[in-house]
Structure 1
Amino acid sequence: MGMNGGKQQLPSCWQYQESPPTIQCLIEKALTRITKLDRKQLHLVGAGRTDAGVHAWGQVAHFITPFNYDCLESIHAALNGLLPSEIRVREISPACPEFHARFSTISKLYHYKIYNGLIMDPFQSRYAYHSGYKLNPVVMREAASYFVGRHDFTSFANVSHSDGLVNPVKEIFQFHVKEMDHVFQIEVEGTGFLYRQVALLIEIGREVLPPVVVREILAARNRRELAKFAMSAPPHGLCLMSVNYSDDILKAPAGCPASSFGRLQTASKCRLPFY
């Protein structure tokens, strides 16, 4: 799915709430109209929660129906016809009974954009955080390298937020800092993502803190260690780019209809990559 949860838009991405309506709520309402099933029967499940203001080019969800579809293009067209322009279903595919949008996940890829110019580009303002301070990419890359690997991220937990970290141990497979003119793009692939990783990286890029502080904060395993530094990374710079699964779990059972990619614009258990 493609979901634009930016400022002045929908209040939250993947969490059911009717007033004001969240993205999940709007998708469920569209599905109930099309399938004539209630939300408890559909059991729509997303790959993970994303907060208000976050964008998602590659969110994935699944739902269940008691019947099969011969063709998925009609339901695909109907869904996009009922959804507001900020939400689009890019693909609908049949899935095996074992597939679970959340628990079958291997990794997720996130991008966080920082506009590092003196004057903010208005065309970037809804999708990038503006840092008027000149950032040092060399120290940011060094700091990012300390995140790679399997770590206990207790120090980065925010108990008042959605990242309460029931399991604080996460693995980061890659953590890159790329420069594109005035834009710094932070690319993180791993089993989890925490805003405060990026917030700390920004402070290091401003040369307020040394890169080695990442290792020290991780080793402390104490939220108070990170709380010593005032920092924030607003959600609108973040985008969930993709949710990754093994090839085996993505194989559809024999006899299922072909996936729909919106060329015209249906599944006992249907996998929806939402953008």
Structure 2
Amino acid sequence: MSCAALGLSSPSFPNGHLSSANSTSVEDLGMVKPSVALPHYKWRLLIAYDGTHYAGWQFQVSPPTVQCMVEKALVQITKLEREDLHFVGASRTDTGVHAWGQVAHFVTPFNYDSLENIHAALNGLLPSDIRVREMSAAIPEFHARFSAKRKVYHYKIYNDSIMDPFQRHYAYHSVYKLNTAAMREAAKKFIGKHDFSAFVNASRNDRVPDPVKTIFRFDVIEMGALLQLEVEGSGFLYRQVRNMVALLLQIGREVVPGDIVPKILATGDRKELAKYALSAPPHGLCLVAVKYKEEHLLLPLGCPSTSSGRHHTVRKCKLFFY
């Protein structure tokens, strides 16, 4: 696809600089040419995906991850190496976890006059279970991961004797009748600033953040047989949400009392939680939204308009006969 088709233009809103990784040897002088600061343009993506067939978000080639698929499409469209894209996601969702509001950013050394074409090209290259919902320019200070102030996750539970087959990839099936009132009261005990060390699993990667997080709300909403647990926090540790949900399920089954939540929190010991509950399955979990300060979402001056996709119209009415 040509650069013109993608709306490529000359620089008009330089919004940052990256140092070139390439250094040129000057053999005659016995010197090394210093790296050059190159202007770059930062772009923000809002991404939705069905995580059923992916090994989570974080980049790896096999089995494939969501980040791998998006980067592959970006490399094909921009003709840049993946290392030059500096592609970063807000949340490293695990294998089988879904997202409606994942946020990511990448950079290019060139600008775009319009984002509609590159947006359409991205979705044209991506598999149908990954969609870029929105694309916009971003200011230099914006960082998809480190600028995030709040994240919202939903966990769905289908509470009936027979599973709805249309919910099987997106909701955990509980055949036990759950005491939703008890779950709702217990969920409130997670609200506030706590050390969540008792609700984090050991991780094999670099995720070793501060265990102290703030939960702003934790709602248990009934929609017929479907229960939707909505949790909003300043951030979440590895499998924290799934571990909290697992304990609430045990409370809903009336296996343990609701006042056990603060007791387990106080221990700061993952082994204590393991006495009562294991992690809830990943397929019920969905990253719904990542929230930022308004100033981090400002658009740079002179940038192209945000793209939310294009609507196609039919110029003439056509009737199909069979």
Equivalents in 1 of 2:216, 2:304: separation in Å? 34
Partner of 2:193: 150
Identity of aligned residues (%): 63
Partner of 2:146: 103
Partner of 1:272: none
Partner of 2:306: 259
- How many residues of Structure 1 are paired with residues of Structure 2 in the alignment? 262
Could you tell me which runs of 5 or more consecutive residues in structure 2 were left unpaired when the two chains were aligned: 1-46, 313-322
Q: Which amino acid aligns with 1:22?
A: T
Partner of 1:179: 222
Structure with the largest fraction of strand? 2
Partner of 2:170: 127
Partner of 1:3: 49
Moved more, 41-50 or 185-194: 185-194
CA contact (8 A) 2:139 2:299 kept: yes
User: Bigger relative contact order, structure 1 or 2, given CA contacts below 8 A and separation 6+?
Assistant: 1
Partner of 2:40: none
Equivalents in 2 of 1:64, 1:203: separation in Å? 45
Map 1:5-154 → 2, pairs under 5 A: 5-6=51-52, 9-12=53-56, 14-154=57-197
CA contact (8 A) 1:60 1:243 kept: yes
Task: Pick closer, same or farther for the CA change 1:41–1:114 going to 2, 3 Å.
Answer: same
Task: Pick closer, same or farther for the CA change 1:164–1:139 going to 2, 3 Å.
Answer: farther
Task: Pick closer, same or farther for the CA change 1:174–1:23 going to 2, 3 Å.
Answer: same
CA contact (8 A) 2:250 2:277 kept: no
CA contact (8 A) 2:196 2:213 kept: yes
Task: Pick closer, same or farther for the CA change 1:4–1:112 going to 2, 3 Å.
Answer: same
Task: Pick closer, same or farther for the CA change 1:230–1:173 going to 2, 3 Å.
Answer: closer
Moved more, 69-78 or 186-195: 186-195
CA contact (8 A) 1:158 1:164 kept: no
CA contact (8 A) 1:153 1:170 kept: yes
Equivalents in 1 of 2:205, 2:261: separation in Å? 22
Partner of 1:221: 268
Equivalents in 2 of 1:110, 1:68: separation in Å? 34
Could you tell me which runs of 5 or more consecutive residues in structure 1 were left unpaired when the two chains were aligned: 266-275
RMSD over aligned CA atoms reads 1.4
Equivalents in 1 of 2:160, 2:193: separation in Å? 34
Partner of 1:236: 283
TM-score by length of structure 1 reads 0.92
Task: Pick closer, same or farther for the CA change 1:188–1:209 going to 2, 3 Å.
Answer: same
Q: Which amino acid aligns with 2:121?
A: A
CA contact (8 A) 1:140 1:202 kept: yes
Where do 4+ consecutive residues of structure 1 move more than 6 Å?
A: none
